């Protein structure tokens, strides 16, 4: 049960402030240890904020300067938040200067001494296709990385984790901030510097779009799936389908969600849409309508999937094995539904908006 909340920590301050923010405050003592515990008294799912909020800067004198080879991104292919960071690595051409490792898809016990279930690295690189053992710290779990970075951490052990090899600590574990850094701060060493997914003229529109898409769709599917009472579930489903209907209408008029150019808001929307029919329809009870019943949204999802680099950020095997296998309160026997096995590389109709 969460009884204390705090505002997200935005750290753009001095070096001293940045270091202070690496140490979680005492408020985290009562925080949830996993998303399965993030529940209000009314039975609604309430996500807690991320803890490590340092910023990598293109300024060489900053505490965390953008340097080739210095940072490592720990992800799970299953996780939509981590996947948006991986998408940025791929489409910005940063994967040669920022290395990454994916954990195993299914949560396991992270320690023998307690019951916590979480992300685990495979013992070898052949154990689990797509997953690799931790090349930097030899950690067995994502939990161990948090414990290396902070001695009194008591929040959730989430991915993504952006790790600094030099200072041996977590720079940031909030995907919405990691993607902003990847978009701009590494442009001196990125291969695709021309791609700006958060250009000044679109920033207000992207921010506003992110807001309703996060509430209704990205986090909305979790609110549907993790609700423990009928009322909050129904409220979440209503909001989800209002937001999907709104997207469908917008995408009937233009190629991308903020207009004629690809933006951050598209990548953030995509990671939820690509999981929708394979997982959320069944596992999170989002079955009022499937993605395939929305012609614009479905074709749009294929369009984004087919952007060079994007498909390599999607590992459907990991996605399905994670969700269906890691939430025993929702799917006690861990059975993985076989369908629908959609081919997102098949033709779409979105070129009709190109000039
Ligand atoms: N605010 C975080 C959320 C990340 C998050 O919730 N990740 C999930 C996986 S999809 C996680 O690692 N959960 C671990 C747990 O709940 O114990 C972000 O966007 O970066």
Q: What is the pTM of this model?
A: 0.91
Q: Residue 104 is inside which H or E element, if any?
A: none
Around ligand 1, the residues with Cβ closer than 6 Å are 34-35, 50, 79, 81, 118, 156-160, 173-176
| 139 has pLDDT over 80 | yes
Where do runs of H (alpha helix) occur along 276-349?
281-283, 295-305, 316-326
For tokens 């969600």, name the residue. Answer: 257
Q: Active-site residue 79, yes or no?
A: yes
- Each residue of 43-90: pLDDT tens digit? 889 887 788 999 999 999 999 999 999 999 999 999 999 999 999 999
Was 81 annotated as part of a binding site?
no
Backbone angles phi, psi at 23, to 5 degrees: -100, 115
Rounded to the nearest angstrom, the gap between the alpha carbon of residue 321 and the centroid of all alpha carbons in its chain is 17
What is the Å distance from ligand 1's center to 8 Cα? 15
Would you state the pLDDT for residue 23? 35
Would you state the pLDDT for residue 355? 56
Give the separation between CA 11 and CA 173, rounded to whole angstroms.
13
Sheet holding 99-102, edge to edge: 99-102, 71-75, 161-164, 169-172
């Amino acid at each position: 049960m969460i009884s204390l909340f705090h505002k997200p920590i935005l750290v753009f301050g001095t070096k001293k402030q940045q270091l202070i923010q690496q140490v979680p405050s005492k408020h985290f003592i009562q925080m949830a240890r996993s998303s399965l515990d993030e529940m209000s008294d009314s039975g609604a799912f309430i996500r807690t904020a991320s803890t490590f909020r340092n910023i990598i800067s293109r300024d060489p004198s900053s505490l965390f300067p953008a340097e080739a080879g210095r940072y490592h991104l720990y992800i799970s292919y299953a996780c939509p938040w981590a996947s948006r960071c991986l998408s940025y690595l791929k489409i910005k051409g940063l994967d040669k200067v920022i290395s990454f490792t994916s954990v195993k898809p299914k949560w396991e016990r992270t320690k023998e001494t307690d019951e916590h279930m979480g992300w685990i690295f495979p013992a070898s690189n052949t154990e689990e296709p797509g997953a690799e053992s931790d090349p930097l710290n030899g950690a067995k779990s994502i939990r161990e990385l948090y414990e290396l970075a902070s001695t009194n951490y008591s929040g959730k052990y989430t991915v993504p984790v952006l790790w600094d090899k030099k200072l041996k600590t977590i720079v940031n574990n909030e995907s919405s901030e990691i993607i902003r850094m990847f978009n701009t701060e590494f442009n001196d060493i990125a291969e695709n510097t021309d791609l700006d997914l958060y250009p000044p003229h679109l920033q207000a529109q992207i921010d506003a779009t992110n807001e309703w898409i996060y509430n209704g769709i990205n986090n909305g599917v979790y609110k549907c799936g993790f609700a423990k009472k009928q009322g909050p579930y129904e409220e979440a489903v209503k909001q989800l389908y209002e937001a999907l209907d709104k997207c469908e209408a917008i995408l009937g008029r233009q190629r991308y969600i903020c207009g004629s150019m690809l933006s951050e808001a598209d990548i953030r929307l995509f990671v939820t849409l690509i999981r929708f029919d394979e997982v959320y329809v069944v596992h999170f009870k989002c079955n009022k309508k499937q993605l395939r019943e929305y012609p614009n949204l479905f074709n749009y999802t294929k369009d984004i999937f087919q952007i060079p680099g994007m498909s390599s950020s999607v590992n459907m095997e990991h996605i399905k094995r994670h969700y269906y296998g890691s939430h025993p309160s929702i799917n006690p026997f861990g059975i993985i539904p076989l369908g629908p096995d959609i081919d997102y590389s098949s033709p779409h109709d979105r070129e009709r908006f190109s000039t």
